[in-house]
């Protein structure tokens, strides 16, 4: 029986799909837990990979395969909008018990060289617990200036996490993003003092 559990952590991955033949490792740590994954994109529309994730509140591990899909993209002269779907299936390990788990979610974003708006959500199911989980996040960002491709591009971003089943339903995290070439790194502190950090490489 595939019952559900609250597993409220999702990947704030800026680009879930890379360029054709691209490999993209990613790691993220937040108040919700720690996630690491690596994906391979055979085309610019889809990415396959593996993910390992630890959810701090649930004391639960997830190890499985993931698929990210880009069904829609709008390229404009100075901006771009995307719609992604993400999914994963694997094994969970929660307080000594192994079970099947998985997730599905979507990302929608729009950005130009100075501003970004991104929304994502995820529903996570774990066969080991009779609970279900949904979480979502909104990001607003502004770049103080437009750096050339060869130089570091800073972004000031505010992320608002909403996890309806959590005791602390809303978390606000201001962060700094530094972006250059194949490297994207983010670091911030939530309004409760929790550290947020993430790194994405693309090669």
Q: Using CB under 8 A, list all residues that contact another protein.
A: 14-15, 17-22, 43-45, 70, 73-80, 111-113, 146, 148-149, 153, 179-182, 184, 202
β partners of residue 44: none
Closest to another protein by CB, 2 vs 203, is 203
Closest to another protein by CB, 93 vs 180, is 180
Closest to another protein by CB, 150 vs 167, is 150
**Burial class of residue 201, CB neighbours in 10 A (0-12, 13-18, 19+):** middle
User: In angstroms, what is the minimal distance from the CB of 30 to another protein?
Assistant: 21
User: In angstroms, what is the minimal distance from the CB of 54 to another protein?
Assistant: 26
Closest to another protein by CB, 112 vs 132, is 112
Closest to another protein by CB, 12 vs 70, is 70
Beta strands in 11-149 (DSSP E): 22-30, 33-43, 46-55, 60-75, 79-94, 97-112, 115-126, 133-142
User: In angstroms, what is the minimal distance from the CB of 199 to another protein?
Assistant: 13
Closest to another protein by CB, 41 vs 58, is 41
User: In angstroms, what is the minimal distance from the CB of 8 to another protein?
Assistant: 27
Nearest CA-CA partner of 197 in 50, 53, 49, 26:
26
User: In angstroms, what is the minimal distance from the CB of 83 to another protein?
Assistant: 13
Query: How far apart are the C-alpha atoms of 81 and 118, rounded to whole Å?
Result: 9
3-class state of residue 47 by DSSP: strand
Query: How far apart are the C-alpha atoms of 54 and 83, rounded to whole Å?
Result: 26
User: In angstroms, what is the minimal distance from the CB of 92 to another protein?
Assistant: 31
C-alpha dist (Å) from residue 14 to 1, 101, 187:
34, 24, 14
Query: How far apart are the C-alpha atoms of 43 and 167, rounded to whole Å?
Result: 41
């Amino acid at each position: 029986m595939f019952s559900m559990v609250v597993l409220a952590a999702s990947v704030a991955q800026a680009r879930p799909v890379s360029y054709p033949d691209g490999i993209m490792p990613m790691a993220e740590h937040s108040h919700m837990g720690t996630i690491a994954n690596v994906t391979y994109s055979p085309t610019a529309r889809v990415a396959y990979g593996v993910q390992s994730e630890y959810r701090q509140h649930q004391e639960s591990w997830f190890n499985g395969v993931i698929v990210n899909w880009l069904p829609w993209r709008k390229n404009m002269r100075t901006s771009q909008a995307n719609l992604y779907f993400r999914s994963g299936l694997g094994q969970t390990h929660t307080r000594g018990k192994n079970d099947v788990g998985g997730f599905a979610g979507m990302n929608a974003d729009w950005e130009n060289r100075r501003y970004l708006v991104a929304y994502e959500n995820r529903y996570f199911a774990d066969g080991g617990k009779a609970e279900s989980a949904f979480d979502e996040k909104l990001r607003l960002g502004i770049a103080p200036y437009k750096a050339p491709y060869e130089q570091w591009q800073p972004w000031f971003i505010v992320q608002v996490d909403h996890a309806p089943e959590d005791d602390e339903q809303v978390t606000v995290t201001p962060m700094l993003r530094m972006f250059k070439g194949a490297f994207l790194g983010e670091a911030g502190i939530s309004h409760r003092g929790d550290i947020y950090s993430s790194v994405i490489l693309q090669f």
